Amino acid sequence: MNYRDGLMMKKAIIIGASSGIGLELAKIMSGDGVAVGLAARRTNLLEDLRKTLPGKSCAVYMDISKTDGIEKAFGDLLAELGGADLVVISSGTGFVNPGLDWEKEKDTVDVNVSGFMKVMNCAVKYFQGKGSGHIVGISSIGALRGGHDAPAYNASKAFISNYMEGIRCRMRKENLDITVTDIRPGLVDTDMAKGEGLFWLIPPRVVASGIYKAIKKKKRVKYLTTRWWIIAMIIKVLPHGLYSRL
């Protein structure tokens, strides 16, 4: 696996590895010789995953909706893994919530905003101390515009993309070799894909494979897949009057 300047990426932390994109990415990376540190709430699923991985792995409990425990769990992973070259933040949640049920809106913000930002904070500080590293966050095409059925979800993904851009600019200003990659998938065939009339659902394995390619190329922003990149470009330029009728 070629990394810039001939370096090898040997150790990666994946937050949200118990299912979906995170799980598939762990399988792909472990199969390519990367030691993986896994974190999620459902540790039983993490242990099931570890049994299938060919390479070194470790796992810790982390509930990113509860920010008080994130820093310790992140530190435990680093200690057990022996450091990290890459941190992937794959945890996320969202609800179809046209009735604006407050608990659903709050849960979305707790995970996708507060939890994401806390993990990002831990990763940035670690890589600042190390002098180099790579952080990947999973945003969404939904980050581009507001969503009438899932307003908090789209807004939270917009926060993720905006926050990662800010961190990327900060790292460049500090002249640090820290890459920040914003992954923006279309609809992925996971438990989070809710609603009627869903189309072009992408298998998590396909998304994970695309993410791994983007990691190797040190991309800043990557839309997955190509057809969803086309949709994203259309969404960006649609007049509000048309977009609001979708």
* Nearest residue to 23 via CA among 49, 62, 43: 49
Q: How far, CA to CA in Å, does 108 sit from each of 71, 150, 179? A: 20, 10, 26
The verdict on whether omega for the bond into residue 108 sits within 30 degrees of 0, i.e. cis, is no
Which residues have a catalytic role annotated? 153
Alpha helices (runs of H) in the chain, residue ranges in sequence order: 20-31, 43-52, 70-81, 102-109, 116-130, 151-173, 204-216, 226-237, 240-243
**Environment class of 10 (CB within 10 Å of its CB; exposed 0-12, middle 13-18, buried 19+):** middle
